[in-house]
Each structure stands twice: as structure tokens, then as C-alpha cells.
Amino acid sequence: MLSLTEANIKALAGPRSFERGRGYLDAVTGIEVGDGWVTATVHGTERYEVELILDGPDGLTGECDCPYGLEGNFCKHLVALGLTVLAQRERLPQQRQAARSRAQDLDGWLSALSKDELLALVREQVGEDRQLRRRLELRAASARGDLAGVRGRIRELLDIGPFAQYGYVEYADARAYAEQTGQAVAAIGALTGSGRAADAITMAREAMRQLVEALESVDDSDGWLGQVGTDLADAHLDACRAARPDPEELARWLVGHVLGDYDSLTDIDPLDYEDVLGERGMTALRELAVEAWRGNRTGWAEKYLMERLAKAGGDVDAVIAVHAADLSPNGHTHLLIARELDTARRPDEALRWAERGVRETRDLAAVDTALVDYLCERYAQAGRLPYAVALRRDHFGVRLSLLAYQQLRAAARAADCWQGEREGALALLRADAGRRQPGWYGGPVLVDALLDDKDGEAAWEAAADSGADDRQWLALADHTRAERPADALGVYLRLAEPLTTQTGNAVYEQLVGLLLNIRDCHRRLGTPGEFTAYVTALRTAQKRKRNLLRLMDEHGL
């Protein structure tokens, strides 16, 4: 109970979910208090089942079946339940004690029943609870060694028929279907637990095939079946560890599974089976992986499997061979190879691969920028600053972006040659600005570059000659307001005009920001009366926009 405090609830939920949860206090119904837990129903967009664990190993925790809660978050519905329980905190100790007493009474009553009475009770529940009946049927079939019966029941549990309309399981029914398939996974685990691990392996593999086929006809937006697939993979691994199948057969199955159509659901990692495969199985696994990769060197699954096995075995050259067999045209693969070689402490080879990546890129404008960054960093570390400048210059020449300009400037300043490089770079940007056509998105990079250089006068001239977009004009006005208040005032007035015809708090905040700048310009120009007249007229025209007027009042406008 000590962990159930408003502060703890807010810390778990975060400010946003906490505040939203306050609005759901009237939506909490059906509260049931147990010994250490509280459950309830919270009515939101749908009806959600919520459970708070009051004093578990991790302190206060909770679960909710809303989409946000299913991701492991302490959602607004949990907040609502927590705050509701807090409001009744004085009753909680008695309620927990009552729940503890009820549990003890129930256990005592069950213990006193005869075998026949217990059987009658179980039969009654089986008749009323279909899920319980299915679980017990599976246990019975498993206990009597009826593999055909277990297989048939598992196939029924994985069948989408009872949940599908027109052959497809809609979102609203996906959870119920996933819960039913979870029973199949539990049955497979029970086979292993009852000493029939070899049968569990067979059942798990058959279930994987059937579940992948079913997945194509289920709206699994919330990932319910994905979790079932993970549990099924775990059940298969547990069965293999118990049954110890033939290592070479297991290796063949693993490679076929990973390279086939079924791994998208289970995401099995063959390396998890290393203790089961042993030396003989791992050798077979590597041989089969190499054979598959040689047959399809550009296949994603083949490359990934080879790379995983090579890295696990510490074989850097094999990793490089996998990448080198399918080099990307933009140099990205060369960069991956360079980083692998760096990790292996082979820097000279890494540098050669990186340089090769730039050299072999057909279009430098499309080169992986991370490769350019990597090379320039290596050149700087080695004191080869002119090489870094040259690469940045070539890259800027085909990109003509503000970022490429900034990177060229940094490299040239480090090499103490920025003045000369700047003239050439600006000449390229002026030529680019002259080629721009009306209607192009965004203003010329030339204006951004000059602003970034803190050369406001040159930026104004460039904007006047080549044009600029509103973002750039605003930046120009902000940057040079002290030196050119009249010019800045014209910009602010022009940008404010269209905002007066729009609504919304975000618009109002933007407009008030411009009004503050307009006031500053008038102050610098010595014309405060003009600003007063402007604001008075604006307030009259916008008198119906109460939020705008309130915001203006807060800023003294």
C-alpha cells in the first residue's frame, strides 16, 4: 500500500497521461480488491480491463488492455483506477484482509471436498467455460499419449474460422483469436513438461506453419499474434533442449526456417540453439549457411544469417566477404566494411575501403553522407586536412545544401583556408540562385549560407536580388533589426497580415511574436505612436478572438 501514492502514480504515468487519467474517474466501474491487487473496468473509447499490482517485487505496477497499455505503459486508465483507490484508501486495508480471508476460506472448502464432489465441480465448470474445457481436453489427450488428438485440438485452436467473417479476422476479433492460439502454445509446452518433448518439437513446427498462414488473414495491428509467435519459438527451443534432437537435422531445419516464409512470425535466432546443436550441429549450421549464401549472395535472409554466424565466430573476413559480395552503389556497404575493420583494429584497410566507396560511387550527390563524414574524420585524425577539405568541396559542389556548406566551412577553417574556399562556395550558390525558377519550394541556399556566416548585409542583398521565402525573410529581419529597423518592420508587417485572417492558439502565438518585433522596430525608429495606432486598429478588428486578446494583454500589447 505504501507504493500507492499520487506522486508514484504521476511518476509512472507521466504528466500527460496523469492529467488525462483525472478525466476518467467517473468511468471506473466494477472495482474488485484482492490481496495485493485491484481490478476494474474503465470505459474509454472501448471497455478496458485494468489491474493494479499494489506491492509487487517492482513496487506499484499495472496492466491495461488498451493499445497504449499493451505497449507496457502506465496509461490513463491505470491512473483513473489508482486515483479512485486512493480516494477510498481508508477502506483498502479492510478490503485486502477480506480478500485474504475469502481466499483462505475457498482453499479450505476445496480441500474438504471429496473426490466425487471435486469432479462434479470441475465438470460443472467445464460445461460453462469453453476455454477451460479446451485446455483440459488438451491435457487429457497429452496425458494418454494421444498425439493425433493433441494435433487435432491444436489445429482447431489455430483455425481462424470461428473468428473470421468472409475469411478474414477483423481487428475487433484479433485479440480473442490470439488468446485462443495462446492455448495451443501452452499445450505444446505441456507436452514438454510431461516428458514428450520430441512430440512437442513436431507440434511446434506444425503450429508455426499454420499460424503464419493464418496471419495473412488476421488484422494483427496490436501485435497479439506476434507475441504468440515469440512464445511458440520459446516453446520449440525448450522442447529441443529437453529432447536433444539430432544436431544435423536441427541445423537443417533452422536454416530452412530462417530462410523460409515462416521466420517473419517467430524471428528465431539459430545462435540461441548453440547449446543444443553442439560442435557437430554448429559445423553443419555454418556449412548450410555458406551453401545458401553462395546460392543467393544478394538475398537479405542469406546475408543476415551468414553475417550473424561470422560475427559470432569472430571471423571478420567472412563478414567482409558477405558485404563485399553485394556492394550498394551509394557507398553504404563500404562504410559497413570500414567500421567492421575498425572494430578489428585494421584501420589502414578500413580507410582503403572507405576511399573506395567514394571513388566507386557513380553519383557523388547520392553518396551516403555518413561515408563522407567518416572519411573526413579519419583524414582530420591523421592530419591530412587538405584531403578533408577537398572531399567536402566536391561533396558541397554536387549537394549545394546549407549543411554541406557548414561542413566545408568547418573543414576549411581547420585547415586555415576558409577565406579562399568561401569565395568559390558562394560563387556556386550565386549561380544556383540565378537558376532558380519562380514557384520552387524554399528560398535560395545562398541566403541561408550568408545568414549562417553572420553576413547580414550580403544576405539582404542576395534576398533582394534572388528572392527569399518567408522563413528566410523572417530570419533576415531578426538578424538585422538593430541595423535596419525600417526594412525589418516591412517584413514583420507583411508576415503578420495573413495571420490576422486565421484562428487557433498557435497562430495567435506566432502573431503576438511578430507584434513584439514590430513594437521594437517602431521604438528604434522613434515612432511609438504609429505602433499604438496599429495595435488599436488590430484589437478592434480582432475583438471576437478572445484568446488572441488575452495573449496580447499578457505581453502588454
**Residue 293: pLDDT band by 50, 70, 90 thresholds?**
very high
pLDDT on residue 437:
63
Report pLDDT for 438: 54
| Averaged pLDDT of the chain | 89
Distances (CA, A) of 438 to 258, 449, 468, 469, 547: 53, 20, 11, 11, 37
299 pLDDT more than 50: yes
3-class DSSP state for residue 557?
coil
Q: What's the rounded mean pLDDT across residues 453-464?
A: 92
Residue 382 CB coordination number (10 Å)? 12
What pLDDT is attached to residue 92? 80
Residues 464-515: tens digit of each pLDDT? 988 889 999 999 999 989 999 999 999 999 999 999 999 898 999 999 999 9
Answer whether residue 9 shows pLDDT above 60: yes
Query: What average pLDDT does the segment 23-46 reach?
Result: 87
| SS3 letters across 30-44 | EEEECCCEEEEEEEC
**Band (198; pLDDT cuts 50, 70, 90):** very high
Q: Is the pLDDT of residue 2 over 60?
A: no
Mean pLDDT is lowest, of 10-19, 131-140, 320-329, for 131-140
Give residue-wise pLDDT tens across range 234-267. Answer: 999 999 999 999 999 999 999 999 998 777 788 8
The region of weakest confidence among 109-113, 175-179, 304-308, 436-440 is 436-440
| DSSP, residue by residue, 221-255 | TT-HHHHHHHHHHHHHHHHHHHH---HHHHHHHHH
pTM to 2 decimals? 0.66
Do 204 and 160 meet the contact criterion of CB atoms below 8 Å apart? no
Supply the pLDDT for residue 1.
Answer: 47
Q: Quick one: pLDDT band at residue 441, thresholds 50, 70, 90?
A: low
Contact 292, 302 (CB under 8 A): yes
Rounded Cα distance between 43 and 24, Å, is: 8
Is it the case that residue 517 has pLDDT exceeding 90?
yes
Mean pLDDT value across residues 218-232: 87
pLDDT at 448: 93
- How far apart are alpha carbons 360 and 120 in whole angstroms? 79
**pLDDT tens digit string along 492-502?**
999 999 999 99
Section 156-178 average pLDDT = 87
Instruction: Please give the C-alpha separations between residue 17 and each of 12, 69, 77, 140, 209, in angstroms, as whole numbers.
Output: 9, 11, 9, 46, 40
CA distance 313 to 306: 11
Rounded Cα–Cα distance for residues 550 and 85 (Å) = 39
Q: CB–CB of 194/145 below 8 Å?
A: no
* Mean pLDDT (whole number) for 414-420: 94
CB atoms under 10 Å from CB of 488, counted, come to: 25
Cell of 315: 571471423
